[in-house]
Amino acid sequence: MYNLPTNTKKWQFDIFLKKIFKKKTDAPFAQLLINVHPLPLFHVKSPIFLFYSASVRQGIVDSVKRALGDQKVKSVVICGQNGVFCGGADIREFGRQMSGPPLVPMIHDIEAANKPVVAAIEGSALGGGLELALGCHYRISHSKAKLGLPEVTLGLLPAAGGTQRLPRLIGVPAALNLITTGRHVTAAEALQLGILDHVTEHNTVDVAVKFALSVTGESLDGRRISSFSCAPLSDLDSLFEEAMLKVRGAARGAIAPVACVQAVRAAATLPYAQGMEREKELMATLFHSGQARALQYFFFAQRAVGRWSTPSGARWDTSQPRPVRKAAVIGLGTMGRGITVALAQAGLSVVAVETHAKQLMEAKKAVPSMLKRGAVRGGTTIEPDSITYSETVQAVADVDLVIEAVFEDMALKEKVFQQLSIVCKPDTLLCTNTSSLDVDHLASQTRHPELVVGMHFFAPAHVMKLLEVVYGRRSSPAAVATAMQLGKKMGKVSVAVGNCRGFAGNRMLKRYLEQAFFLLEEGATPELVDRALEEFGFPMGVFRMSDLSGLDVGWRVRKADGLADTSLTGTSARVRQGCRYSPLGDLLCEHGRFGQKTGRGWYQYDKPGGRVAKSDPWLHNFLDEYRARHGLVPRCIDQQEVLERCLFVLINEGFQILEEGIAAGPEDIDAIYVFGYGWPRHRGGPMFYADMVGLERVVERLERYHQAHPNVPYLQPSGLLRRLVANGSPPIHKWRNVIKNRNSQL
Ligand SMILES: CCC[C@H](O)CC(=O)SCCNC(=O)CCNC(=O)[C@H](O)C(C)(C)COP(=O)([O-])OP(=O)([O-])OC[C@H]1O[C@@H](n2cnc3c(N)ncnc32)[C@H](O)[C@@H]1OP(=O)([O-])[O-]
């Protein structure tokens, strides 16, 4: 405790604080309290911290004790510093031995206080921060503040009474929604829900202080949320059943949302003290779970991808992006339209070019309605004239950046880049949305190869969060930085990756698809493979996903690569370029089965464009005949083999990508897979999953499968994977050291 003269002014405390505490994290909470004597108010100012650490909690406990024990203090205001109330628990502390006072009794003591305690919320009140505010008797917030209980996104639940107080305050349905989704709400919505007592546009602390003084001495009986009962509901059972179905459907296999529903149910059905016990029990199971570890890893991984760098020395903090005000999109097929919408939504003026009159006409109709739907969803407005359409490439002469999104055909793309290089300003950035073609080759078609990068969007481009920014050998730091920043402006998670066939995401996906085809040859069915992957947590198995995206896309690429030759017979039908190959996808396409769009693919649909996949007896006969023709004896394949074959081979390719420096770190690959390919977030991404499973095990299984299938070279563990194991399988955050240092002994 620091004894300050009682006549110290508030600003003197700030100086005092700076003098004593050189490091932010050393400062306890308590020293800021005493300033308000002789005012009958105790002004608990949360320190320079955004998050609760042990010292912050200790500070609050000490401060509150002093405030309550001091007869001169009549009311207490709790606020943050630097415009932020509190972002909740310090996630980095979770993995360590917990020290300092726990939150639950701390909040309980605040609620039990016999002097009014007012939370003055600015910036964010999230997680434990909002739980602290719920323990206060009144909550006053600035209009720009955001509130929420995002614990579920970290694999946890709000275990400082959040699951018990929130339903008592705002009712079970609204609390279920906030707690199971973890969404942040604006102050306006929080006021409407009843979380806040008052919202102000003015200085929140001043307003809260005034308010706290005005309620001094009033009864607090009706202000302690733990003493409330949840508003009665007619059919509680069906409400919770529905909630359970919803959370199970939204994130298959995720345990935290389920525990959140169970905790809220306890609030609705049990007295407060028993509800708190249930909350504690449920939290105990979540706290040490692999899913919580995965989600907390992913929280930091998402932020790590923003600190990108390239082997040529371009970096997030030193490379200057160029301003982009006007952009163009070439080619208005599905991808081009989505990109046009994403750019317009980001506030850019867009020139949309399509040389085929019919396609242009269709795009002119489709794009505005996509924009309208987006605006309704996001509650935003769009300038209708921010997009101009043209049939000629000449229209892009004055734009700052072009994104080419024409058909995936190298000859066509070469032509477009040659034209752009002539038509555009010399400093215009030229980007390609190719999903696998050589960015360096396209750059070589232009006068300024340093201004060429890949911007690989994922369909639908205006919805999907992922953007792979592909730097070429000659891409300038400014070009990479501009593409990365533009991605961010469009609300994307931009991941910088090097140039190779398929970049990071599709290169890994290729191995995964191949294994799925091989499994069919060996006796599996699309249903069995998809079930295993969906139970793992993917929203769709590999075959349902192929049907959705169209089987013809991969077929065209394989044909261009000279692979899709179905005239071959005997053993050569199943071998290409010396490796095992499955022509199953090519054969299906030859039957006109392109997936959902033709009403037939790996499954059948009630009509072309239908969405409900049904098992197809034709397909099963086709597989039987195929196996018989090739002398393949079907065997029983279990879910474990499906997962190991499909996922470990994908992971192995990820290690190869890390080894080659195509991705800078495992976080990049994990972000790509979670945001672009539906990898379940509660499993952290493929590289984190490998760490969880154990690298030795991944190597052992890959070796075993490689022995069984020696003509599949990608089943051989990559050099980096072996090196990591040889280095004692360090945890994922240390892999970069091994990647950097080929001879590392860590
Ligand atoms: C008993 C149970 C108690 C309770 O129920 C459990 C909890 O409260 S669970 C917690 C519930 N709370 C949450 O889930 C809140 C999660 N946080 C957020 O939503 C946003 O960070 C916030 C809105 C606060 C600020 O957004 P912004 O302004 O765009 O800034 P930003 O996002 O870029 O972050 C800036 C830096 O802070 C770092 N960092 C962030 N949060 C935490 C943390 N809790 N801890 C540690 N570090 C954290 C972040 O990594 C980054 O570091 P770096 O090294 O610069 O990369």
The pTM assigned to this predicted structure is 0.91
* Cα end-to-end distance, the chain, whole Å: 43
What tens digit of pLDDT does each residue of 305-315 get?
999 999 999 99
Q: Which residues pair with 148 in a beta bridge?
A: 126
Nearest CA, atom 15, ligand 1: 87
Number of Cβ atoms within 10 Å of the Cβ of 719: 12
CATH annotation of 33-288: 3.90.226.10
Looking at residue 42, its pLDDT comes to 53
Q: Read off the pLDDT of residues 209-222 as tens digits, 9 standing for 90 and up.
A: 999 999 999 999 99
Instruction: Give the helix/strand (H/E) hosting 662.
Output: none
| Residues with Cβ within 8 Å of residue 545, at least 6 apart in sequence | 538, 678
Pocket test for ligand 1, best of 24, 48, 51, 283 (most atoms within 8 A of CB): 51
Question: Residue 84: which pLDDT band, with cuts at 50, 70 and 90?
Answer: confident
Quote the CA–CA distance of 663 and 495 in Å, as a whole number.
Answer: 9
In 3D, which of 198, 368, 166 has the Cα closest to residue 272?
A: 166
Q: Residue 545 above 80 pLDDT?
A: yes
Distance CA 286, CA 94 (A): 12
Which residue lies with its CA nearest to atom 3 of ligand 1? 128
Percent of the chain scored above 70 by pLDDT?
92
Residues with beta carbon inside 6 Å of ligand 1? 51, 87-92, 103, 124, 126-128, 131, 150-151, 154, 156, 158-160, 162, 300, 303
Distance in angstroms (rounded) separating the CA atoms of residues 316 and 319: 6
Known catalytic residue at 242: no
pLDDT at position 409 over 80:
yes
pLDDT in tens, 124-161: 999 999 999 999 999 999 999 999 999 999 999 999 99
> Tell me, what's the pLDDT at 66?
87
Q: From ligand 1's centre to the CA of 87, what distance in Å?
A: 6
Which tens digits make up the pLDDT trace of 595-626? 999 999 999 999 999 999 999 999 999 999 99
Per-residue confidence (pLDDT) for residue 740, from 0 to 100: 81
> How far is C-alpha 565 from the geometric centre of its chain's CA atoms?
39
pLDDT, one tens digit per residue, over 666-699 is 999 999 999 999 999 999 999 999 999 999 999 9
Residue 248's Cα: distance from chain center in Å? 18
Please tell me what DSSP assigns to residue 270: S
pLDDT-derived band at 15 (thresholds 50, 70, 90) equals: very low
Written as one string, the DSSP assignment of 335-390 is: HHHHHHHHHHHTT-EEEEE-SSHHHHHHHHHHHHHHHHHHHHHHT----GGGEEEE
Q: Minimum mean pLDDT among 22-31, 33-42, 674-683, 720-729: which range?
A: 22-31
Q: State which CATH number among 3.40.30.10, 3.10.290.10, 3.20.20.70, 1.10.1040.10 fits the domain covering 524-634.
A: 1.10.1040.10
DSSP three-state, residue 507: helix
Cis peptide before 460 (omega within 30 of 0): yes
Residue type, 151: E
User: What pLDDT score does 592 carry?
Assistant: 96
For ligand 1, atom 32, the nearest C-alpha belongs to 303
Task: Look at the block and give the residue holding tokens 């308010």.
Answer: 211
| Residue 265 vs residues 156, 163, 166, 244: alpha-carbon distances, Å | 16, 9, 12, 11
pLDDT (tens digit per residue) in 571-603? 778 888 889 999 999 999 999 999 999 999 999
If we measure between CA atoms, which residue out of 420, 432, 413 comes closest to residue 503?
A: 432
Give me the catalytic one of 151, 404, 641, 667: 151
- Does domain 640-661+664-744 fall into CATH 3.40.605.10? no
pLDDT of residue 384: 67
Cα–Cα distance, 457 to 567 (Å, whole number): 35
Give percent above pLDDT 90 in the chain: 79
Residue with the nearest Cα to atom 19 of ligand 1? 87
pLDDT at 55: 81
Q: Domain 326-503 carries which CATH code? A: 3.40.50.720
Q: Does residue 37 carry a pLDDT above 90?
A: no
Query: What residue spans define the domains of the chain?
Result: 33-288, 326-503, 524-634, 640-661+664-744
- Region 312-320: mean pLDDT is 95
Is residue 193 over pLDDT 50?
yes
Q: Is 131 a catalytic residue?
A: yes
> d(Cα 78, Cα 117) in Å, to the nearest integer?
7
Tell me: ipTM over 0.95. yes
Q: Please determine, for residue 508, whether its predicted confidence score (pLDDT) is greater than 80.
A: yes
Q: Which residues, in sequence order, are CB contacts of 710 under 8 Å at separation 6+?
A: none
Distance 150 CA to ligand 1 centre (A): 10
Q: Looking at residue 742, what is its pLDDT? A: 58
Query: Above 70 in pLDDT, residue 525?
Result: yes
pLDDT for residue 351 is more than 90: yes
Mutate to test the pocket of ligand 1, among 106, 124, 126 (most ligand atoms within 8 A of CB): 126
Residue 380: what pLDDT?
76
Distance 349 CA to ligand 1 centre (A): 34
pLDDT greater than 70 at residue 372: yes
Q: How does pLDDT run across 549-563, given as a tens digit for each residue?
A: 899 988 988 888 888
Q: How far is the CA of 53 from the centre of ligand 1 (A)?
A: 12
Q: What's the confidence (pLDDT) of residue 741?
A: 66
Q: How many CB atoms lie within 10 A of CB 27?
A: 22
The ligand 1 atom at the shortest distance from the C-alpha of residue 182 is 14
Q: Tell me: pLDDT of 239 over 90.
A: yes
Identical fold between 326-503 and 640-661+664-744: no
Cα 465 to ligand 1 centre (Å): 20
